[in-house]
Structure 1
Amino acid sequence: MPIYRDENIKNIKRNDTNIAILMFFNIIDFILIGLIVVLFYLTMPVNSTKVLFIPKGSTSNIISHLNKSGYEMNALDEIIIKMTGYIQSGWIDIDQTRLTKMDFIYKLISSKAALKTITLIPGETSYFFLKKIAQEFSLSEEILTKIYNEHAYKADGNILADTYSIPIGMKEDYIIFYLFSQTNRKYEEFSKKIFGVYDKKKWYNYIILASVIQKEAATTNEMPIVASVVHNRLKKGMRLQMDGTLNYGKYSNSVVTADRIREDTSSYNTYLNAGLPKDPICAVSLDSIKAAIFPVKSNYLYFVRDNRTGLHKFASTFEEHQVNIQANVGVAKTYTKVKAVETQIDEEAQNIMKTDISNQKPISIKDLFNNIN
């Protein structure tokens, strides 16, 4: 009887051992199958742009963002990423347009895109800025111009004068969309700060005025004064008759001649047409926008550049203006660069310019609406 019991115990132990061994190999098989599935999954092809923007946020939020952007990402990707590192925010240099899922995840974790800065100078036109982008980033000027024209809200003024950091390798359409979105974000932010709302149509009327100011003012100090001249002339029904409005597009840096004034039939010609042009002339700065919204109160209707300083002399009457013009007769241009000194203006204007604009009431844009061609 004892012999039988011992034998039975041995059989049970042997069975337990066999079961344990079987379970061990089953687990190994399961792990191997899982690894094979994961390895197969990681070799699946992924199509991507050469550079990719990743917003700040948790891994889950970034995965969601990538899915919305057309990348098929799931919980397995999230687990792999969390096990191997974390996704960097900002621009990512993917480098290739077709790669494996493994390479794509590796790029997300490790590859910051190389950035290159480019500056849009206040007063420059999109015509020349697109040429500059094409040259510095080795892109097609024709494609840039085509995409710009297809998506621009106005002929110009769609890109704020500023310095931009752009990833090397970004294609033409992405660069244009990036510049437009960055500008629109800043326009909206500035508009809400002043008016509490952002009405794009109304805002661009200010951009039109700001572009005239940008082209005409010699310094930032002069901008609110030039703005007052524009407003005063519009209120009196006078044509602006400003050379700077003819420095649009490819004529940005051209000398305005009598022939140009006679022959240019565009809405930019404020010698020929009453009111403001229908489009901004150029890229504007925040300073010129501020001047357009908060001009000084003055009686000025005229201004002329002083050949000695490069600054403008302002006048309230045509007779005063003629005296300022005569002061330039026989005087050669002696300045090489306009010094940012305060322009000589009346006491009232000086006091207004020194006040904080946050305490000022924005001017009504009714006159602007009625004076756009």
Structure 2
Amino acid sequence: MPIYNNETDEIIIKKKKTSKALVIFNIIELFLIAIIVILFYVTIPLTSTKVLYIPKGSTNNIISYLNKTGFEMNIVDKVILKNLGYIQSGWIDINENKLSKMDFLYKLTTSKAALKSITLIPGETSYIFLKQLAQRFNLSEEKLFEVYDKHAYKIDGNILADTYSLPYGMKEEHMILYLFSQSNKRYQALSEKIFGYYDKRKWYNYLSLASVIQKEAASIDEMPIVSSVVHNRIKKGMRLQMDGTLNYGKYSHVKVTAQRIREDDSSYNTYKNVGIPKDPVCAVSLNAIKAAIFPVKSNYLYFVKDNRTGLHKFSNSYAKHINNINSNRGVKKEYTKIKNNEDEIDKEAKTIMQSDISSQKPTSIKELWGNVK
């Protein structure tokens, strides 16, 4: 009897071991099958736009949104995403049209904000720039103008001429406030470097002068010379009489005619008004600001564009100015932008533009603003 009992026990033990091994094998098999299925699933090809909008919210809400937009997400995606990390919201740059499901899920958690660049060209007006901004970022032009007018310190010049990389999906108010903020930081930093402090009212006086220079100068090296003409004319009580100041706002690219000069009663009409316009004419570059603050020393009062070079001929008398105008007659416009003979004033202007501004002494422009309240 005991022998038979031992044999029975051994059989039972063997059966238990076999059953346990079978269970373990089945579990391993199921696990491997699951891994194979998941591996197959995450390698499924997927098509997406390069730039994708992801709403704010929980993972469940985002998956629900992606399902509605045709990405066919499920619980597997939810588990993978929760293990990968935080899902980016807003417009993100996937940077690929065709990728695997796993690559797509990974990019949802790692892609950076989708950015688009726009350049505010030196000399361009805010009126034109806001229209370009609306078109490029698919924004409301009316709303952009409304927000701009609400927050602008001056009619123009509130945004520094530069290239800006802005995210998709930024609303009109956020975009305008961002551009104002970034420009003001740049203005403040430059002012503190030159003057040691930032006086916004005083700074915008310089911006108004810089905008005249920006509109009139044919090159960066000419800017300090044009600046000197402005200073010299005003010190003598002469009107500036510069066409560029009438290329403000919507008239940015409109040819100035005798009729415009007669009919325009704005402060931008320097044929009628003495001094600088009370608001900047346009967006300005840092170079134009530098020239406004550091004009070259000259006795020039007039300038006219040279048909041969596209640069300006400067003079200190009306008679010489008329001779320079007459010398253009019959001369084909080539605009080489090359000045073969540089005088001392030309060299000084170049030195100003190439020097470190912190080592230069600013010129006072107090006398230029007698007509500006």
Q: Is the 8 A contact 2:276 2:369 kept in 1?
A: no
Any stretches of 5+ residues in structure 2 without a counterpart?
A: 1-56, 63-82, 94-105
**Is the contact made by 1:92 and 1:112 (CA closer than 8 Å) also made in structure 2?**
no
Distance 2:270 2:198 in 1: 28
Quote the offset at 1:209 in angstroms: 0.2
**After TM superposition, which residue ranges in structure 1, 4 or more long, deviate above 6 angstroms?**
41-46
Distance 2:141 2:173 in 1: 11
Q: Counterpart of 1:256 in 2: which secondary structure?
A: coil
Structure 1 alignment gaps of length 5 or more: 1-40, 47-82, 96-105
Q: Which has more radius of gyration?
A: 2
Could you tell me which amino acid in structure 2 is paired with residue 231 of structure 1? H
**Where do residues 95-244 of structure 1 align in structure 2 (5 Å cutoff)?**
110-244=110-244
1:154 counterpart letter in structure 2:
K
Distance 2:331 2:114 in 1: 51
- The DSSP-based 3-state class of the residue aligned with 1:197 is coil
Contact 2:221/2:346 (8 A) holds in 1 = no
Aligned Cα root-mean-square deviation (Å): 2.8
CA drift at 1:270: 0.2
Residue identity opposite 1:354 in structure 2: T
Q: CA deviation at 1:45?
A: 9.1
The SS at the match of 2:121 is coil
Shift of 1:328: 1.3
Q: What residue in structure 1 maps to residue 347 of structure 2?
A: 350
Alignment-mate amino acid for residue 157 of structure 1: G
CA distance, structure 2, for counterparts of residue 130 and residue 274 of structure 1:
30
Q: What one-letter code is carried by the residue in structure 1 that aligns with 2:344?
A: E
Q: How much has 1:371 moved relative to structure 2?
A: 4.3
Shift of 1:368: 2.8
Whether the 8 Å contact between 2:314 and 2:321 is mirrored in structure 1 is yes
Partners of 1:296 and 1:353 within 8 A in 2: no
Once the two structures are TM-superposed, the CA of residue 201 in structure 1 deviates from its matched residue by 0.4
Distance 1:343 1:297, change over 3 A: farther
Aligned-partner Cα distance in 1 for 2:232–2:108:
56
Q: Equivalents in 2 of 1:266, 1:352: separation in Å?
A: 32
Contact in 1 for aligned 2:216/2:226 (Cα 8 Å): yes
Is the CA contact (8 Å cut-off) linking 1:92 and 1:107 kept in structure 2? no
Task: Determine if contact 2:156/2:282 at 8 Å carries over to the other structure.
Answer: yes
- SS for the counterpart of 2:184 is helix
TM-score, normalised by the number of residues in structure 1 = 0.70
- Output aligned runs, 1:4-43, within 5 Å: none
Which amino acid counterpart does residue 328 of structure 1 have in structure 2? N
Instruction: Quote the Cα distance in structure 2 between the aligned partners of 1:162 and 1:343.
Output: 31
Q: CA deviation at 1:254?
A: 0.9
Kindly report which structure 2 residues correspond to 1:30-69, keeping only aligned pairs within 5 A, or say none.
Answer: none
Q: Deviations over 1:135-194 (max 9, x none)?
A: 111111111011101110000000000000000111111110110011001000110111
Opposite residue 350 of structure 1, the aligned amino acid is: K
SS at match of 2:265: coil
Distance in 1 (alpha carbons) for counterparts of 2:340 and 2:312:
7
Aligned sequence identity (%): 67
Task: State the one-letter code of the partner of 1:353.
Answer: K
- Secondary structure at the aligned position of 1:117 is classed as strand
Letter in structure 2 aligned against 1:278: K
In 1: Cα distance, 2:107 partner to 2:144 partner: 27
Question: Partners in 2 of 1:154 and 1:345 — Cα distance?
Answer: 38
Distance 2:166 2:344 in 1: 45
State the TM-score, normalizing by the size of structure 2. Answer: 0.70
Partners of 2:360 and 2:59 in 1: CA distance? 62
Preserved CA contact (<8 Å) 2:309 2:339: no
Whether contact under 8 Å (1:313, 1:344) holds in the other structure is no
> 2:87, 2:285 → 1: CA distance?
35
Quick one: which amino acid aligns to residue 134 of structure 2?
A
Q: What SS does structure 2 have at the residue aligned with 1:289?
A: helix
Check whether the contact 1:130–1:141 (CA below 8 A) recurs between aligned residues.
yes
Task: Please report how far the alpha carbon of residue 92 of structure 1 lies from its aligned counterpart in structure 2 after TM superposition.
Answer: 5.8
1-side partners of 2:365 and 2:135: how far apart? 39
* Amino acid in the other structure paired with 2:351: K
Post-superposition CA distance 1:64-85 (Å, at most 9, x none): xxxxxxxxxxxxxxxxxxx975
Residue identity in the other structure for 1:250:
K
